[in-house]
Amino acid sequence: MEKLGDYLASQCGNPRGVIGKIMTWAMNRANNVMYKGIIEEINISPKTKILDVGFGNGYLEKLIIRKSPCSITGIDISEDMVRKATEANRKYVASGNMKFQLGDCCDLSFKDSSFDVVTTMNTIYFWSDTAKGIAEISRVLKEGGIFYNAVIKRRRYILQCCYIKGKLR
Ligand SMILES: C[S@@+](CC[C@H](N)C(=O)[O-])C[C@H]1O[C@@H](n2cnc3c(N)ncnc32)[C@H](O)[C@@H]1O
């Protein structure tokens, strides 16, 4: 039983194969209130550049772009999720509004001050080095940029919203 628990936890931290697809599909349903919370909170315009860390199957991206056209880049450590999210959002990828790539938030390949908004949902528990991940997110955010971190704590959904490069909100 412990082994099954460990396996499912590892699938959440790095979804792979058919089980990974099923798990991320189930997450989309189970965490509906979290997606809605982020969508309601973020201000987006066609000029907004968003980075989503750990996009899973790319469900949040679809909801964001339906709210407003914008530019979204996603990074995830799972190759399978890069393929899945790209396929699920092929219309927006083809139009140049969305891009999904392999990457680890603890070592981002982007230049300083590249994004207006960084989002991450249910991923921070899986990062190998939380402080490094936060430092990297801060580096790639523009001055006054906003970092949204959605987590579940004791079965409750929490949306932390910080102006990393300015004062805490
Ligand atoms: C629980 S899933 C959440 C997926 C999506 N954010 C959602 O809520 O629907 C966690 C995702 O974070 C990714 N991930 C874990 N550690 C990561 C890291 N250090 N950098 C980028 N992505 C990471 C995993 O591959 C997985 O797709």
Instruction: Determine if ligand 1 sits within 6 Å of the CB of residue 104.
Output: yes
Residue 158 confidence (pLDDT): 82
Say if 169 falls within a structural domain. Answer: no
Closest by CA to 82, choosing from 111, 112, 113, 104, is 104
Regarding the beta carbon of 56 and ligand 1, being less than 6 Å apart is answered: yes
Residue 19 amino acid letter: I
Q: What is the mean pLDDT of residues 56-85?
A: 97
Domain count, the chain: 1
Q: What is the mean pLDDT of residues 118-124?
A: 95
- What is the C-alpha separation between 123 and 130, in angstroms, rounded? 10
Ligand 1 center to 126 CA (angstroms): 7
On whether residue 146 sits in a domain, the answer given is yes
Number of H helices, E strands in the chain: 7, 6
- Asked if the structure places residue 57 within a domain, the reply is yes
Rounded to whole angstroms, the Cα distance separating 47 from 105 reads: 23
Q: Judge whether 96 and 32 are in contact, CB under 8 Å.
A: no
Q: What is the pLDDT of residues 131-168, one digit of tens each?
A: 999 999 999 999 989 999 999 877 777 877 766 666 55
Best substitution site from 59, 100, 126, 152 to test ligand 1's pocket, by max atoms within 8 Å of Cβ?
Answer: 126
Q: With a 6 A CB cut-off, is 76 part of the ligand 1 pocket?
A: yes
Does residue 148's CB lie within 6 angstroms of at least one atom of ligand 1? Answer: no
Distances (CA, A) of 90 to 63, 101, 158, 168: 14, 14, 30, 36
CATH of the domain at 135: 3.40.50.150
Please tell me the predicted confidence (pLDDT) of residue 19. 87
168 occurs within a structural domain: no
Give 110-120 pLDDT, tens digit per residue: 999 999 999 99
Residue 14 lies in a domain: yes
Q: How far apart are CA 148 and CA 160, in angstroms?
A: 6
Task: Tell me the whole-structure pTM to 2 decimals.
Answer: 0.93
Residue 53 lies in a domain: yes
Instruction: Tell me the pLDDT tens digit for each residue of 5-64.
Output: 888 888 888 888 998 888 889 888 888 888 998 999 999 999 999 999 999 999 999 999
Task: Identify the domain containing residue 37 by its residue range.
Answer: 2-162
